[in-house]
């Protein structure tokens, strides 16, 4: 089955540690995205990538880093510089970044809930 | 990005139609209206999108007013599994900029027996 996978579903880390969240898609999508969601809030864009070896900062990139070495993978690292890292993290992908055509909607993974102790 | 306004919450009886409104009075002529929903602790799920004309698919119908300043998502026969937060999103214009989605707080739809 085609889709997006995120692992693990729940992740616990001590304060001050970097942690990397995985995101893999087998949809052959060019564009990938990382969002953060806090309780009772909408999604906020952290980083996005149009194509391999390219990525851009979203609205709340401070304290995060990403890489896009392979088309199917877009890992997110939450660094110790992120002041409030505890949140629900969602990865998404779409056919391409500039879309607007029918069927270019974003497909979301199941999310990773990160708790920093 | 155009801003959307949605009611915070709505209730609907199972089997009845759920009509979820969205105001987007500052929408530009080439911006699309998208609807997603998010069931608790899961990733959002795409429902439907449209530009000017009304749209229908296997999940829902989207009614966009002629002036495009508002729209309504219709779930024709709501079930308990439709209980979720529904997000109305206006997608930025095409070309030259990333088609980023800006999620607001959405409408929490509670379907009851």
Strand-strand pairing, B32-38 and B45-50:
antiparallel
Indicate the SS3 state at residue A18.
Answer: coil
Contact A108 B99 (CB under 8 A): no
Of B49, B87, B98, the CB nearest to A97: B98
Q: What is d(CA B27, CA B33) in angstroms, rounded to the nearest whole number?
A: 9
Mean pLDDT over A56-81 rounds to 95
Cβ-based neighbour number of residue B67 at 10 Å? 8
Interface test with A, best of B59, B94, B97, B99 (most A CBs within 10 A): B99
Token pair 């989207």 is found at B62
Mean pLDDT over A65-93 rounds to 95
A14 CA to chain B: closest CA distance, Å? 23
Is the pLDDT at B56 greater than 50, yes or no? yes
Mean pLDDT over B74-86 rounds to 97
Of B46, B49, B98, the CB nearest to A56: B98
User: What does the pLDDT read at residue A117?
Assistant: 87
Residues 6+ apart with CB under 8 A from A25: A3, A4, A5, A32, A72, A74, A91, A93, A107, A109
Q: What is d(CA A52, CA A31) in angstroms, rounded to the nearest whole number?
A: 9
Is the pLDDT at A106 greater than 60, yes or no? yes
Closest CA to A115 of A29, A34, A8, A31: A8
pLDDT-derived band at A2 (thresholds 50, 70, 90) equals low
Residues 6+ apart with CB under 8 A from B22: B4, B5, B6, B33, B35, B70, B71, B72, B73, B88
Mean pLDDT over A97-103 rounds to 48
The dihedral region occupied by A69, where left means phi > 0, alpha psi between -120 and 50, and beta the remainder, is alpha
Q: Give the mean pLDDT of chain A.
A: 89
């Amino acid at each position: 089955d085609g889709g997006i996978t995120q692992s693990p579903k729940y992740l616990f880390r001590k304060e001050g540690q970097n942690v990397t969240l995985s995101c893999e898609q087998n949809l052959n999508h060019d564009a990938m995205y990382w969002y953060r969601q806090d309780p009772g809030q909408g999604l906020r864009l952290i980083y996005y990538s149009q194509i391999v070896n390219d990525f851009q900062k979203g609205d709340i990139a401070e304290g995060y880093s990403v890489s896009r070495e392979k088309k199917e993978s877009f890992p997110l690292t939450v660094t110790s510089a992120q002041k409030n890292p505890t949140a629900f993290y969602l990865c998404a992908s779409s056919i391409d970044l500039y879309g607007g055509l029918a069927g270019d909607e974003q497909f979301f993974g199941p999310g990773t809930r990160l708790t920093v102790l | 990005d155009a801003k959307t306004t949605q009611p915070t919450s709505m209730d609907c009886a199972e089997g009845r139609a759920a009509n979820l409104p969205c105001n987007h009075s500052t929408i530009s002529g080439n911006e699309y209206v998208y609807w997603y929903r998010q069931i608790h602790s899961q990733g959002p799920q795409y429902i439907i999108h449209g530009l000017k004309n009304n749209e229908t698919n296997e999940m829902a119908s989207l009614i966009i007013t002629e002036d495009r300043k508002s729209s309504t998502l219709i779930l024709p026969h709501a079930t308990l599994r439709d209980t979720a937060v529904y997000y109305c999103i206006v997608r930025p214009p095409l070309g030259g900029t990333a088609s980023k989605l800006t999620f607001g707080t959405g409408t929490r739809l509670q379907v009851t027996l």
